[in-house]
Amino acid sequence: MNGVEEIRDILGKEDYTKLKSVIHKYHPVDIAEFFEELSPKESLNLFKILDFEDAIQVLEEVDSDKKYFILTNIEANYASKLLAEMSSDDVADFLGDLKEEEKKQILSLMEESAKLDLKDLLAYDKNTAGGRMTTEYIAFSKDLKAKDVLNKLAELAPDAETIYYLYVVDSEGRLAGVISLRDLILAPEQTPIEDFMKTDVKKVNVMSHQEEVARLIKKYGLLALPVVDDNDVLLGIVTVDDAMMVVEEETTEDILKFSGSDVDEKIDLKQISPWIRAKRRLPWILVAIIGEIFSGRVINGFSATLQTIVALSFFIPVIMDMGGNVGTQSAAIVVRGLATGEIDTASIIKNVLREAAVGIILGIINGILVTAITYFWQGKVLLGLVVGIAMAFNLTLAAALGTFIPLLWHKFGHDPAVASGPFVTTLLDIIGLFVYFSTATWILNL
């Protein structure tokens, strides 16, 4: 019997004493996972026996539908307390997911002070530093001493997202420095924090994209990154665990876009109907259809050639597929390189030339190979040459275009992953077939 089955079993028997002792073994993150599998009624009964601290954490973890269901089905007073203690970024994300009616209902449960905090957070786009930050940070003014700060911590800690970085602000709320809890407890009690705070604070503007937030946290190995407005006023922080979520989300987005799925495609196959999933994947497929009809028209344009030598058609697959393969490899390297910052768009031409060099090498090797294969299969030297030359030319072009298109797309401020998968492949098919049949017409004098 696995965890959730055991809990369902005890819930069925309404043995709440046993349930309390069993649930105590689990981490709130694991308990939140149980909620995914439990029915609404079971979830509610389980939620009611949780400690207040666990309840907050579980609530932060479960998805918005379940959050809404629980909060609107428990005592209003308790819901209000829970909402006040939840991380402000989690509550903001939750409200962002709700319909207008539902949102009003949840807001009506909240205390006025909690609502005020939220109002600002809700104004930021979900994918920005502002949309990701929490307002539960700790900041001090710089004239305090190490001892005073340590003493105040006890009181501030329960509400803070992290106490490992303590920020220092001036009288206008502008970020002046940061002290780590590590430095604080090592500092002599009477030292003013100004003396040991770091003033070169890594920070991010509230409107920055979440990718930039994650990049800085990763690059400098931070536990949290302060978010400031244009005047350097401290507004919130993003913690490293949220940065890891951002990395995961952005990666999923890149891989799915790269494969030509819509951005909103969810991984979890269970939760979405095949109709919606098909609809989301349709756009790029339709683009590809149009593109490949053009490929067909290229062949159509050479149908006289093809009618004379039917064997030319046998090599359409290898010409098409190889161009697509090499182009996709190049595009994948560029998309990933841009994501990790190892490639920049400053030198598009340099990058394209470097990649084209790889394409030439691959083209020559494979050109010779398919010439030989064609000769042994069909016994015709000239046909072999046609396939080989077209292949060499195509792979060079594929490497160059597979690099150029995502870089160009990125330079114009778009997501390079979108332009990479199906678009590059389809374009290379059209060009590749044209090169192939032109080479045939030229060499075979047709």
Is the CB of 235 or the CB of 430 nearer to its own copies? Answer: 430
What separation in angstroms does the CA of 17 have from each of 4, 21, 23, 56? Answer: 17, 7, 10, 21
Cβ proximity to its own copies, 116 vs 361, nearer residue: 361
In the complex, the smallest distance separating the C-beta of residue 123 from its own copies, rounded to whole angstroms, is 26
How far apart are the C-alpha atoms of 245 and 254, rounded to whole Å? 14
As measured in angstroms, the least distance from the Cβ of 340 to its own copies is 6
Nearest to 110 by CA among 94, 125, 97: 94
CB of 435 vs its own copies, minimal distance in Å: 14
- The minimum distance between CB 389 and its own copies, in angstroms, equals 16
CA gap 320, 51 in Å, rounded: 61
Least distance in angstroms from the C-beta of 73 to its own copies: 27
Closest distance to its own copies from the beta carbon of 221 (Å): 4
C-alpha span between 88 and 120 (Å, rounded): 10
Q: Which is nearer to its own copies, 122 or 163 (CB)?
A: 163
- Closer to its own copies by Cβ: residue 1 or 286: 286
State the Cα–Cα distance between residues 356 and 392, nearest whole angstrom: 11
Cβ atoms of residues 18 and 10 within 8 Å:
yes
Give the pairing of strands 165-169 and 204-205: unpaired
DSSP codes, 101-140: HHHHHHHHHS-HHHHHHHHHHHTS-TTBHHHH-BS---EE
Judged by beta carbon, residue 142 or residue 218, the one nearer its own copies is 218
- The count of residues in the chain is 446
What's the closest the beta carbon of residue 29 comes to its own copies, in angstroms? 5
Q: Give min distance, CB of 75 to its own copies, in A.
A: 28
How far does CA 389 lie from the centroid of its chain? 41
Nearer to its own copies among residue 1 and residue 154 (C-beta): 154
* Pick 125 or 344: Cβ nearer its own copies: 344
Residue carrying the six token digits 């060099």: 357
Least distance from its own copies to the Cβ atom of residue 443, Å? 19
The nearer residue to its own copies, 237 or 333, going by C-beta atoms, is 333
Our CB check for its own copies shows the closer of 116 and 276 to be: 276
| Residue 283 and residue 262 in contact, taking contact as beta carbons nearer than 8 Å | yes
Cα-based distances in Å from 12 to 31, 34, 43, 396: 17, 15, 12, 66
Cα 201 from Cα 249, distance rounded (Å): 26
Question: Do 143 and 194 meet the contact criterion of CB atoms below 8 Å apart?
Answer: yes
